[in-house]
Structure 1
Amino acid sequence: MKKILMALAVAVTLFFSVTALANTDASVEQGATEGQIWAQVKEGAQGVTTSTGEAHNQLINTYDLRVFELRSDILAPALMAALFGMIIVFILFIKINGISKLHGGFSGKMVYRWSKFDVSIHWLGAIPCMLLILTGLVLIAGRFFFQPYIGEGVWATLVNASKLIHDYMAIPFMLGWLLMTVLWAKNQMPKMYDLKWMMVVGGYINFGPFKGKHPDAGFANAGEKMWFWAFALFGLVISASGMLLLFPNVFEPSRTVSLIALVLHSVSAIIITAFSIVHIFMATVMSEGGMECMVSGYCDENWATQHHNLWFDEIKENGTLKYKE
């Protein structure tokens, strides 16, 4: 009886050993096959399907993954740096250098500079621009920099709100961009004296050989012209790419075109963000009396003579100088 039981035990052991070995071999063979298939997929191997859409015979568009890596490794950190990095740089610069004060103080005489319509279209473009920057930051970089530190419910609400605001602010931004580009371009043409303005950094440096320098400037100085043309060019790119992404059913872009549009949209957003931070700091903090221009449309006479002397001389000579009553 013992011999029979021992024989059965040996048989059962041998059965399970052979079965396990067979399963192991099958798993190894299956793993090798899956590895070969995945390698072929990454190389762009094509198959057969009943689909009639673009790239219907390609299982996976591997360049999608490269765009995602570009977003996580370059675009998201660059946008964070363009916003928060520039803010930090300007805070340190102001702490070390100080602001550009009016040497003669405020005169109390307010000179007409911008019409109410100009002020309106400035804010038509500026307010949506800032909302697009903040919501775009969430959409591009939020997954990598914000999501790990907040709850899933808060993150879902934040992303949903950002997407809605981003979509709805796109049209007013494009309208403001178009009006500003068309109507303001005539005062933004480069002049030879702009080079001298750049060489002394506009007179905003309060130490060393730059201190006390006040270079010539027309209606717009060289820095404002740089900002204007950057805004005009990259605003065009961001508007065109944004339309493709916002209305895919209307324009029906290909998968490749959509991905290119996404990259161009992000790069343009990074550049506009960096310039916007500079523009905001220069208007609100660095230039004493500068913000008043885009609030009332008027500027102090001493501000005009210190920062835009050629323009002020011109309007005095041609009789278009107007003071606020």
Structure 2
Amino acid sequence: MLNKKLNKSLRSLFALLVLLMGVGFSTTALAADEQSSKQQAVTENPADLWRAVKAGEPGFTTYNSLESDVLINVVGNDGRLVRDTYVKPAIALSVVGVFGAFLLFYLVNGPSKLEKGFSGRMLERWDKSDIWLHWVMAVACLILMVTGIFLLLGRHFLAPYIGEGTWGAIIITCKFIHDWVGPVFIVSWLLSVIKWMPLQTFKLYDLKWFLVVGGYINFGPFKGKHPDSGFANAGEKMWFWALAIFGLFVSVSGLMLVFPNLDLPRVASMAALLIHAGSAVILIAFTIVHIWMATVLSEGGMECMVSGYCDENWAKQHHNLWYDEIKANGTLKYQDD
């Protein structure tokens, strides 16, 4: 009796499995038939086929690369529109606009003079490793900016006025230099961030620095206002953190772009291109400001990164808290010591 019940249960279970398999095969066949019908309909209607291709819908290919079944890169087209509409004008504005604004400010305001003049006593501000690190990164950064501008905007302001052969040679040279100087910038940027980060924390007194524009204005209620500042003033700290953050973005995205064998999705590649260019816009603008401030707007400022020493009156006027600190703890070192 038990065997009969068991056999009956097994037969019922077997029948249920056969039924489920039949339903599954039927569903699969219907789905395949429906897909085949759709593909046949698209094939028979060229307009529908081309509409699907332009929409980025995947098809069939024997090539096994990532996204090789998509004939038209819709993301790439959209990204190109974003680049041409927003990124390229932003780069042009960061170069021409920021430079022009500081030129106008300089013509109206003039440089920030030392109120007590040069003392003639030079005290140590940077050591030799800092100077080398700064200039290696600075030169690499400037080369990357110039070649990057040629790569992105050269076809608009240069290519129409020279021959195709000359333009081709220029663009190939810029691409080669850009790719090989990039690692130099990345290494020097990383060392700079690690070495200088402890000096770049924001303090409450930095807020006043922004409120009086660092004491660089020579007219009106801001004239003669020299706010407290440590080793780095608030403007230098803002420049450092812009370099740290957007230098990271431009470095990672640059590595993604220079190694095509990574076989990244098209969305990732286009995102890397836009992030790279967008970060470059910000770094170019900050670099122009940095160069203006170090060369012509701050009397005695450039000497710091040439010899590593600054005039004592410059230190008292622009970095008074740092000067008081090193004088109090006995680490003040004059150039002749």
Q: What's the TM-score bracket when you normalise by the shorter of the two chains?
A: 0.7 to 0.9
Q: Partner letter of residue 277 of structure 1? A: I
Mind listing any 5+ residue stretches in structure 1 that lack a counterpart?
A: 1-32
The secondary structure found in structure 2 opposite 1:102 is coil
Cα displacement (A) at 1:144 = 2.8
> How far off is 1:206 after superposition?
1.1
Partner of 1:299: helix, strand, or coil? strand
How many residues in Structure 1 have an aligned counterpart in Structure 2? 292
- Find the counterpart in structure 1 of residue 193 from structure 2: 181
Distance 1:223 1:35 in 2: 58
Tell me, what secondary structure is at the counterpart of 1:106? coil
Alignment partner, residue 307 of structure 1: 318
The answer to whether residue 304 in structure 2 is matched with residue 287 in structure 1 is no
Q: Secondary structure at the match of 1:90?
A: helix
Q: Which residue of 2 aligns with 1:115?
A: 127
Kept after mapping to 1: 8 A contact 2:137/2:189: yes
Q: Give the CA deviation at 1:46.
A: 3.1
Deviation per residue, 1:221-242 (Å, 9 max, x gap): 0000000000001111111111
What is residue 220 of structure 2 aligned with on the other side? 208
User: Contact 2:111–2:298 at 8 Å: present in 1 too?
Assistant: yes
Matches within 5 A, 1:83-232: 83-232=95-244
Match of 1:274 in 2: 285
Separation (CA, whole Å) in 1 of partners of 2:96 and 2:181: 22
1:171-217 deviation line (CA, Å, top 9, x unaligned): 11011101110000011000000000000000011111111100000
**Separation in structure 1 between the aligned mates of residue 184 and residue 57 of structure 2, nearest angstrom:** 45
Partner Cα separation in structure 2 for residue 150 and residue 37 of structure 1: 42
TM-score, reference length from structure 1: 0.87
Q: Note closer, same or farther for the CA distance 1:254–1:45 as it changes in structure 2 (3 Å cut).
A: closer
Unaligned ranges ≥5, structure 2: 1-44
Is this contact kept in 2: 1:99–1:286, CA < 8 A? yes
> Hey, what does 1:19 align to over in structure 2?
none
Does the 8 A contact of 1:315 with 1:321 survive in 2?
yes
Runs of 4+ aligned residues of structure 1 deviating over 4 Å after TM superposition are: 33-36
Deviations 1:57-96 (A, max 9, x none): 2211111111112222211111111112211111111001
* Match in the other structure for 2:272: 261
Structure 1 contact 77–141 (Cα < 8 Å) conserved: no
Aligned partner letter, 1:202: G
Distance 1:231 1:93 in 2: 24
Secondary structure at the aligned position of 1:111 is classed as strand
Aligned partner of 1:69 in structure 2 is 81
CA separation in 2, counterparts of 1:285 and 1:154? 36
Determine if contact 1:72/1:141 at 8 Å carries over to the other structure. no
TM-score, normalised with respect to structure 2:
0.84
Distance 2:270 2:183 in 1: 21
- Give distance in 1, aligned partners of 2:130 and 2:226: 27
User: 1:36-73 CA deviation, whole Å, 9 max, x = no partner?
Assistant: 44322222333222121122222111111111122222
In structure 1, distance between residues paired with 2:127 and 2:187 = 18
Structure 2: distance between partners of 1:254 and 1:88? 40
The corresponding residue for 1:247 is 259
Letter in 1 for 2:246: F
Greater displacement, 113-122 / 240-249: 240-249
